[in-house]
Amino acid sequence: MKATKVNYYNQSVEDVLKAQGSSPEGLTDAQVQESLTKHGANQLETKKNTSLLQKFIAQFKDLMIIVLIAAAIVSVFVGEGVDAIIILLVVVLNAIFGVFQETKAEEAIAALKELSAPQAHVKRNGKVETIKSEDVVPGDIVLLEAGDIIPADLRLIESAGLKMEEAALTGESVPVEKQIAALKDSKLPIGDQTNMAFMNSNVTYGRGSGVVVGTGMHTEVGQIADMINNAEETTTPLQHNLTQLSKVLTGLILVIAAIVFVVGMIRGNESLINMLLTAISLAVAAIPEGLPAIVTITLALGTQRMAKRHAIIRKLPAVETLGGTQIIASDKTGTLTQNKMTVEKVFVNNQLKDTADVDPKDYPYNHLFELMVLNNDTKQTKEGLIGDPTETALIQFNLDKHQNVEKLISSEKRVTEVPFDSERKLMSTYNQLEDGRFLQTVKGAPDELLQRTTLFEEGEEIKSMDDAERKLVLDTNHKLATQAIRVLGFAYQIVDEIPATLASEVVEQELIFAGLIGMIDPERPEVAQAVEEAKQAGIRPLMITGDHRDTAAAIAKRLGIIEEGDDQAVISGTELDEMDDKTFAKKVNQYSVYARVAPEHKVRIVNAWQKQGKVVAMTGDGVNDAPSLKQADIGVAMGITGTEVSKGASDMILADDNFSTIVVAVEEGRKVFANIQKAIQYLLSANLGEVLTLFVMTMMGWQILAPVHILWINLVTDTFPAIALGLEPAEKNVMKQKPRGRASNFLSGGVASNVIYQGLLEGLITLTVYGLAILYPVHASYAQAHADALTMAFATLGLIQLFHAFNSKSIHGSIFSATTLKNKFFNWSIVVSFILLAATIVVPGLNDIFHVSHLNLHQWAIVGGASLSIIVIVEIVKWFQRRFAAR
């Protein structure tokens, strides 16, 4: 039974320490040992992995693989050992590839464990010790400072300007300010639990300490690991389609083969062994033994093309799944946005401007840009700027504007400071000026700052701060806040000496207001266009984030995910908690933005859309995204900013972290599906033609094509042209069509009807040629006439499939287009296949092996004309199909 979760953030420091049997001096050695025995090591559990042998054996449970093995056995039985070896080689290679992919997927939890902090500073027996993070136990007092990684879940008991970056867990890019007071609300999301610290978060500023309240699987990260362990493996549309197709084909094969065998035995014209061979020939003709290989090759070629465009596929079926995507549920931070605070607006000299329109050199009398640099704890290193993201953004702004930051810092060195605290929301510094006086810099929340200002700068003048000026500043602050822009105010004063008492109520008074700075984690510049392209393709983009509602809504509007005034499309995690699954399922179509969500919310959102029958893609980069990435039909991780956990749980990785690459991948996925459809239409119609030919020949008591004929036709005409169809370029307007969705399959969109009429057509044309050869023989000899008829039927059945391959280049489009001969591999595949087919008839010696006779030019003309007729007939049918569709 699952233990009830305790909300330690609702409890006082004293109560938490008492509950954990600890004190500010830490645990004793005896207490540590007792806690370690009770709770175990501070490690994440993983599912028991299956062995490589078990994984390998499991690959052969697929029905199509079983059919393939049966085809190989049949091939051996009829003496075609080479064909059997090729089939078995494909089966084994597929199994090896499947094992490799499955093994890589299991690395998600292992990567999660690697995120754990290697060491922790704890207080035990009244002394500070450095221990391995796996040795941390509940009740330990952990000491924290900037740069530390949190080793376990903590209830903070001390905080001095403490800030933590929790983006990997909450999705919120701005560091969270921490405090120690108990919180009243009993249903707070992780991002609002400001007196807690969570395993694998980073300390970005300040110092403090906390008592351990959860280790290992009892941490927030542990809950994510548990969700990954228990996530159900979803079946991709491709796997589902192939499974269904395999079942249908297997049933038809068995029924037809049985009918032929029974009818043949009743007629009594053939022996038991001959009828058995006939039934086997039918089975060989019906089984598209090259289909799994062709699908795999087509997908593999698709992955290579996508890799060149920065989309790395981890699991082959993901290529096709992308093409059917209807929902893209995207994490905001680092995926839709840059995960980097950036100065976007500047309010200086009573004017609000974009940063692009601001040059500090144009404001020689204004202190704003100087204050941004001096009231800042950012460190410049060879690796870049280190510090609080808000402060690094201020320095980066000045660097981008070619300000000499280092010279300013060294010439006006900081003497002392009044640190930031969350109560007054201000920070002050005192810097030495060349004339011996001191510049006091103050930054913080604009509303708090204005209460302490009496003057303001405007150009060269210092003016009195009146009500009109205060209203202008506050209105500007409100305007920016509604756009999800974080605003900082700056003020200063120059004093002759530093006050003896550095209390806020003493020193932060009668200040001169300098201006405002507006910052935001900006959207990626290419994302808005990608969102628009996704919408045109019938795909609905969703934003799922740990950020506040207003921030999420503002970014979503800027990206075009929702429209202005469409605030009903935004829902918070708290509101989601108040809905049961049934209610949420009814309302899920209303929401496009999910704010302030927890990891379990993301899985729930994905599940709700999947229950609607939608194919869902989930993008993300943090630890918190791993369960939903695994649950989604296709999980898309970020390659640059993504954690190893998210990459391990994903199906696809974006090497450039570019949201627009997803749209490229969707286009490639649609092309792959279309090409597989073309190959399936080609293979099944060809096989149906073979089955019909054999079936009618048997029913009519004619001499029938032997297994060697069928196997050779399958080997020559199925392999190369079908693979070449997988290389076809994308057809026009592929991204203007609606997504196929989960209900679609390879036989939808007119493919099933095409297979039937085209297969029947191939069979009827072949039988017609055979009948004409019998009725109007070239040779008087009965045996020779039947041998010629059988040879002409063999040649027609093979050649008609090669001509039909041109029909299959488009399901409904005409072959008389500029792109028909664009695929050079396809052209060569037809030439090679024709040579291999014709060689069995025209090359002396081979015709004896294949039991065929030489044909004269007249007979070849009949074969060629009959085979070519399929292009004419199919083109006419396609013309009517397009006319009907247009109406």
- State how beta strands 327-331 and 540-544 pair: parallel
Task: Output b/e per residue, 321-351; b: 16+ Cβ within 10 A.
Answer: bbbbbbbbbbbbbbbbbbbebbbbbbbbbee
| Residues ≥6 apart with Cβ < 8 Å to 156 | 162, 178, 179, 180, 195, 196, 197, 208, 209, 210
Run of H or E residues at 406: helix 405-411
- From 704, 764, 692, 693, select the one nearest 277 (Cα to Cα): 704
- Compute how many other C-beta atoms are within 10 angstroms of the C-beta atom of residue 686: 30
Quote the CA–CA distance of 222 and 236 in Å, as a whole number.
Answer: 28
Helix (H, G, I), strand (E, B) or coil at 779: coil
Alpha helical stretches, state H, 508-611: 527-536, 549-559, 573-577, 581-587, 599-611
Quote the CA–CA distance of 87 and 99 in Å, as a whole number.
Answer: 19
Q: Judge whether 138 and 214 are in contact, CB under 8 Å.
A: yes
Q: Judge whether 115 and 645 are in contact, CB under 8 Å.
A: yes
Q: Judge whether 310 and 658 are in contact, CB under 8 Å.
A: yes
Q: Per-residue DSSP letters for 596-645?
A: S--HHHHHHHHHHHHHTT--EEEEE-SGGGHHHHHHSSEEEEESSS--HH
Q: Judge whether 649 and 630 are in contact, CB under 8 Å.
A: yes
Q: Judge whether 206 and 27 are in contact, CB under 8 Å.
A: no
Quote the CA–CA distance of 469 and 486 in Å, as a whole number.
Answer: 21
The neighbouring-strand residues paired with 122 are 129, 142
Give catalytic residue positions.
331
Amino acid 541 reads: P
Q: Per-residue DSSP letters for 825-872?
A: HHHHHHHHHHHHHHHHHHSTTHHHHTT-----HHHHHHHHHHHHHHHH
- From 722, 719, 672, select the one nearest 237 (Cα to Cα): 672
HEC-encoded secondary structure of 785-825? HHHHHHHHHHHHHHHHHHHHHHHCCCCCCCCCCCCCCCCHH
| Residues ≥6 apart with Cβ < 8 Å to 469 | 350, 456, 463, 513
Quote the CA–CA distance of 60 and 53 in Å, as a whole number.
Answer: 12
| Residues ≥6 apart with Cβ < 8 Å to 619 | 328, 329, 330, 331, 335, 625, 635, 636, 637, 638, 654, 659, 662
- From 599, 604, 584, 439, select the one nearest 507 (Cα to Cα): 439
- From 254, 321, 320, select the one nearest 286 (Cα to Cα): 254
Q: State the first-to-last Cα distance of the chain, in angstroms, to the nearest integer.
A: 62
C-alpha dist (Å) from residue 786 to 267, 269, 278, 691, 790: 20, 17, 18, 20, 6
Run of H or E residues at 86: helix 81-105
- From 665, 659, 664, select the one nearest 338 (Cα to Cα): 659
Q: Kindly give the interhelix angle for 659-700 and 527-536, rounded to the nearest 10 degrees.
A: 30
Helix (H, G, I), strand (E, B) or coil at 669: helix
Tokens matching residue 217: 């699987």
Angle at 820 between CA 817 and CA 823, to 5 degrees: 150
Q: Judge whether 732 and 800 are in contact, CB under 8 Å.
A: no
